[in-house]
Amino acid sequence: MLFAAPVLAQDIPTLTMTLAGGQAEPGKVSLLLEILFLLTVLSLAPAIMLTVTSFTRLIIVFHFMRQAMGTPQMPPNQILASLAIFISFLIMMPVGKQIHEQALQPYMDETIGFTEALDRAQVPLREFLFKHTREKDLSIFYSISKIERPQNKDEVPTMLLVAAFVISEIKTGFTIGFMIYVPFLILDMVVASILLAMGMMMLPPVMVSLPFKILLFIMVDGWNLLVGSVVNSFA
């Protein structure tokens, strides 16, 4: 067996990847780089969706809503994430439609090149990002990167714009979450004061206030009101 091992190793087929004709032609290299770029984008698609869509604000608001009600496990994380994804698709549908009409479809019809299609796809997306990004958040990333301040929006790098957009979305989500927390916090304080006045100091106020918070949320049709308000915040 020791003598047969080198022979077997020589018989194992090997796979090599070379360009046709063995010459690195610029056009073929460019095509391979485009394919590599597309594969990279597909692998990073979940992260891209989280950072350049409305998903961040939605998931933060939903988690604040769940914590404010006092039900940290209901609805489950999978349900909240799925709901945020579907609502994000609805909110981003106009942007996606513009990208499809202006960039993707012409590229598939081979009327424009890959680079031009990428530039066209950034236009509607950057408009959405600029609309929901604060100048203060964008300024701090310019200070961190020490890049010269732009003269107009066209000179703002997309990477800095996405980072500033995420910070703005987190702040907006926390602001909405605070507004959601206030009425439930008042209800907890009222229940705690009543229990203290009745001498029931050993009874947890959260246990008593939870049914009332759920009842209040149902009476005002909370999920309908919450989803409608968050979606309208992107108008």
Neighbours of 217 (CB within 10 A): 19
Which pLDDT does position 18 carry in this prediction?
47
Nearby residues of 48 by Cβ (< 8 Å), 6 or more positions away: 41
Residue type, 206: V
Average pLDDT over residues 196-217: 76
Average pLDDT over residues 21-49: 65
Question: Residue 235: pLDDT above 70?
Answer: yes
Give the pLDDT confidence of 126-162 residue by residue, as tens digits: 888 888 888 888 888 888 877 777 777 777 787 888 8
Which pLDDT does position 213 carry in this prediction?
81
pTM: 0.71
Which pLDDT does position 30 carry in this prediction?
64
pLDDT averaged over the chain? Answer: 77
**What confidence category does residue 29 fall into, taking pLDDT thresholds of 50, 70 and 90?**
low
For the chain, the structural domain boundaries read 46-180
Question: Residue 2: pLDDT above 70?
Answer: no
Which pLDDT does position 126 carry in this prediction?
85
Higher pLDDT: 25 or 164? It is 164
* Mean pLDDT lowest among 11-25, 60-74, 108-122: 11-25
What's the sign of the alpha-carbon dihedral 172, 173, 178, 180?
positive
Please report which residue ranges of 70-113 form alpha helices under DSSP H.
77-91, 93-99, 105-108
Long-range contacts (CB closer than 8 Å, 24 or more residues apart) made by 49-52 = 49/85, 49/88, 51/162, 51/165, 51/166, 52/125, 52/129, 52/162, 52/165
Give the chain's end-to-end CA distance (angstroms, integer).
73
**Which of 128, 48, 60 has its CA nearest to residue 94?**
128
Write out the two tokens for 216. 């209040």
Which pLDDT does position 8 carry in this prediction?
41
Question: Residue 28: pLDDT above 60?
Answer: no
Average pLDDT over residues 172-184: 86
Which pLDDT does position 9 carry in this prediction?
44
Which pLDDT does position 16 carry in this prediction?
45
